Structure 1
Amino acid sequence: MKYFSKTLTLTLGAVALSFAATSASADTVQLRYDGANHKPFVSEKIDVKPGAGTNFKTTDVGQFKMTVQKGGDSTTFTQGQSILAWCVEVTQSVKSSTLYTIETATQSWTSALTRLFDKYLDKITNSVTSAAMQLAIWEIVGGDTKLNLGAGNFQAQTPNGGWDAWTNSNSYKAINQAQAWLNDLYNGGEVERKWEVVHLTSAGAQDLVGVTPYIAISEVPLPGAALMFLSALGVGGLARRKRAAAQPAKALA
């Protein structure tokens, strides 16, 4: 995909990303664009002027392959590492050899995008589902709460209109699949957490969003100082409970 407005999703290749603690200076990574992960790309018409619904351009849609050229200030990425990425920024082009900043602040769309990945990322197996995920990401990031690909801030169309539907083309299948995922996004209650969203930004190229495997806090080993702090809290809590037990019971207000 060649166009959108500030955001991609990277799905890790062979090496999982382990993000370092935030430092005073932002971590960076330089990525090379290597083309489609699922070939061929699917062609769609998308509105490259979000909100207008009038400026449609036909473009390639689907998951990218990227290679880490330089880790910058970060130990998060390894030179030569393969990364799979989704474009979500229609107002800028994807560019090779771009230096990205690894953002730490969450965005308004982070929660919805996380749910999308948790529910459907494992469904990406071919060009159609790859394009469908790309369209769903664009709608969540650049669209509105109605999550409708046919109206609103972000819109998508098949290149040949009714002919694509009549021939059941990949363009038609991708839009239908994306809309089905969006319609079902908030159904089914709680979803098992699998992924953590990663956000990379660049002033001169499409921003990216990606995922790393989700690790629950309870699974992360705590440093010694944190363990000591929690132990102190536990001792203090125990002392308070003993004192409370010695006091007469009080009615709730």
Structure 2
Amino acid sequence: MSDVKPILSVRGLVKRFGGLLATDHIDFDLLPGEVHAVIGPNGAGKTTFLSQLAGELRPDEGSIVFGDVDITHKPVPERAKAGVGRSYQISQVFRDMTALENVLLAAQATEASSFSFLSSVFDDEKLLEAARHHLRLCGLGARENTVVSILAHGEHRQLELAMTLATRPTVLLLDEPMAGMSQAESVDMINLLKEIKKHYAVVLVEHDMDAVFSLADRISVLVYGRVLVTGTPEEIRENELVKEAYLGDQEEV
């Protein structure tokens, strides 16, 4: 895998908040078709790192290259249109609208007519079918006309993933997709992400170690804003530094 050109390449990424180094000269590569998980204790800088990849935080130093394009200073909309899609730790959905309407709005954001009325979007058969496809892929095909406020929490997370996919990304940035889920919902989400990973390269930030070791091709362990080590799930499990710094506190491992 080391001979494969990364689809996303990060070098020397630094983000400071006052005297705190939230990300400390991070080097990171995402290869085509892989799930690269980022794990670490609370406060390690994982969400800060993801926010810099998405364009929500501007790095103080370093570079982010997507494909052949330096996107270090490009804003969120440009990154989204280029193919970087992000889901969030806290669900970002429109609760008074149906599941289908939520996905259509997300899809519309990448269209040239992104400021047209939602009613006109329902006349776009291509957009409608794409939205329904993503709902089906995320296990919500039967819920397209359901108002979001009555969906279960796990279904909210599935919907958010469908909305992210509707923006037509090539890279997915997933911030704790299992957050707040029951064990049964987490199992469903793991199975869903196993299907998703066949089609997308994924940066996964997640505290659920069962999910991480089940899904990841490689894992980077972040501690105090620095990458302690990167390796396969097996290498990470057996690494003594990782056990001492993080995994020793995880009941799942």
TM-score (norm 1): 0.24
TM-score (norm 2): 0.24
Larger Rg: 1
Decide which structure has greater helix share: 2
